[in-house]
Amino acid sequence: MPKAPGFWWRYLRGRAPWDTGITPPEIVALADQLPPGRVLDLGCGTGTSLIELGRRGWTGDGVDFVGAAVGRARAKARRAGLKAGTIRFHRGDVTHLPFLTGPYDLVIDVGCFHAVEKDRQPAYVGEVTRLTRPGATYALYTSCPRMFDGALRGFTPEEIERLFAGSWHVQSVTLGTDTSSGFQSGWYVLKRQ
């Protein structure tokens, strides 16, 4: 399990600035373009995006390594009135997911991958690939390279293409500035080959 006390502490204190309670419009637009299927939300936090997809007919799983976030996600799903088993939340490491079986039609990651340690990134990519079917879609929101907690975090479009080469094809890249942090970021949509 990752050791990132800053994430744990912020969720315990109820001050996780990335947890806006709003599903990104990019995820909503993508879900509207695809027929409902199975979705995997990596770094799901308190489950906002997965719950919204569940309301739209999707089924699936969310994974986060912070137990407090997963507990809140489960409570939010119950309050949303989603049928039992529609969506499930798990505490786990996104680089090691033996408790999940695919195939998933859609994988979403809204700000998790850029926090994965560099030496564990290939394992993350391997799990995303193992758990998806050919033709699956992967939507990734990540920061562009910047210093964070004493380490360079984030990716260039070329790095995303290199990391996912072989099994995935980058369909679109939209670079911009995150309005909540002021840092450059990117939305990537990839298709499984």
Enumerate the domain spans of the chain: 30-38+46-57+81-114+124-165+187-193
Q: Compute the C-alpha angle 25/37/139, nearest 5°.
A: 40
pLDDT tens digits for range 18-43: 676 789 999 999 999 999 999 999 99
| Count of CB atoms situated within 10 Å of the CB of 37 | 18
For the whole model, what pTM was predicted? 0.90
Nearest CA among 81, 83, 100, 95 for reference residue 39: 100
Burial of 36 (0-12, 13-18, 19+ CB in 10 A): middle
The pLDDT of residue 70: 93
- The answer to whether the beta carbons of residues 18 and 48 sit under 8 Å apart is no
Q: What is the dihedral of CA 181, 141, 123, 119, to 10 degrees?
A: -30
At residue 13 the predicted structure's pLDDT band, cuts being 50, 70 and 90, is low
Tokens of 140: 């990734």
Q: Provide the residue type at 179 as one letter.
A: T
The beta strands (E) that lie in the chain are given as 38-42, 59-64, 87-91, 104-110, 132-143, 146-148, 151-153, 168-177, 184-192
pLDDT, mean of residues 175-188: 83
Three-class secondary structure of residue 50 per DSSP: helix
pLDDT tens digits for range 67-109: 888 999 999 999 999 988 899 999 999 999 999 999 999 999 9
CA atoms within 13 A on the CB side of 167: 16
